[in-house]
């Protein structure tokens, strides 16, 4: 990946944070919960600094690579709400995303120009090749990002919900990323933005919650030393989606 597309998300996401965070706080009454689950992911923390008493439990979640954020998808605001919910200048920033090609977004007008193109890449969203059953090829860019210590956001459902619920079939990509990199998976639930209208936004008729759940380590999702089958990867992804639904 060109270095420019590694830097641009950091610049953009950091630049808009001071604007969108207060807007979300005021107009959406944004509530953020579970940030304590992210404490050990600070890149300034070393295993040796963790108290011996907590070491045997917490060391599972100290990543040697990046962190995967598995998020339910109910609105176009999700990709902005997630980084806006992290502390300013968080070491987990910038956030990188998975996206489909332009053909997937059956829309018109400005969305057709924006979705799946150059602007997406500037923000940190990179294409996956869905439907190939070859996770390694499909997620090659995101595997590289995680191995470089970056944060990756992925929507296990593969698309926006049609009814506002979390469920259905989970795509296996989120679990494959964890298996191949050892990166922990943080389940995240975003509530209150499904079918949000501009009138509801400006009249402050919604309360939005962003909830960070307890991380799932790769060791919890897969048997140690065993190469998972396609079905086992899908099963692990289903467990991740269930963890999101429980939040």
What residues have CB less than 8 Å from 126, skipping those under 6 apart?
Answer: 1, 5, 96, 97, 98, 99, 120, 141, 142, 145
The closest of 125, 184, 199, 181 to 155, measured between CA atoms, is 125
pLDDT reported for residue 175 = 94
The 10s digit of each residue's pLDDT in 6-58 is: 999 999 999 999 999 999 999 999 999 999 999 877 644 333 333 333 333 34
Report the alpha-carbon distance of residue 161 to residue 229 in Å, rounded.
27
| Helix then strand then coil, % of the chain, to nearest 5 | 45, 15, 40
Report the alpha-carbon distance of residue 88 to residue 21 in Å, rounded.
9
Percent of the chain with pLDDT over 70: 82
Confidence of residue 159 (pLDDT cuts 50, 70, 90): confident
The closest of 173, 181, 187, 179 to 216, measured between CA atoms, is 187
Most confident residue range from 97-111, 154-168, 186-200: 186-200
Mean of all residue pLDDT scores within the chain: 84
Measured in whole angstroms, the distance separating CA 125 from the mean position of its chain's CA atoms is: 11
Percent of the chain with pLDDT over 90: 57
The CATH class given to the 4-246 domain equals alpha beta
The pLDDT of residue 112 is above 80: no
């Amino acid at each position: 990946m060109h270095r420019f597309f590694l830097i641009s998300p950091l610049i953009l996401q950091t630049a808009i944070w001071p604007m969108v965070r207060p807007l979300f706080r005021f107009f959406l009454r944004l509530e953020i919960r579970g940030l304590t689950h992210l404490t050990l992911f600070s890149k300034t923390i070393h295993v040796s600094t963790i108290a011996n008493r907590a070491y045997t439990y917490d060391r599972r979640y100290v990543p040697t690579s990046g962190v995967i954020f598995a998020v339910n998808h109910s609105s176009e605001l999700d990709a902005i709400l997630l980084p806006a919910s992290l502390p300013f200048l968080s070491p987990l920033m910038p956030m990188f995303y998975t996206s489909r090609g332009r053909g997937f977004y059956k829309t018109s007008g400005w969305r057709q120009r924006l979705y799946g193109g150059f602007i997406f890449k500037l923000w940190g969203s990179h294409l996956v090749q869905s439907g190939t059953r070859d996770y390694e090829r499909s997620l090659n860019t995101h595997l590289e990002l995680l191995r470089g210590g970056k944060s990756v956001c992925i929507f296990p459902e593969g698309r926006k919900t049609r009814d506002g619920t979390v469920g259905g079939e989970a795509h296996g990509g989120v679990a494959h990323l964890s298996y191949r990199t050892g990166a922990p998976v943080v389940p995240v639930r975003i509530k209150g933005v499904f079918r949000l209208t501009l009138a509801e936004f400006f009249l402050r008729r919604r309360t939005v919650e962003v909830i960070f759940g307890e991380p799932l380590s790769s060791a919890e999702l897969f048997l140690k030393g065993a190469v998972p089958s396609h079905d086992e990867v899908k099963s692990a992804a289903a467990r991740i989606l269930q963890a999101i639904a429980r939040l």
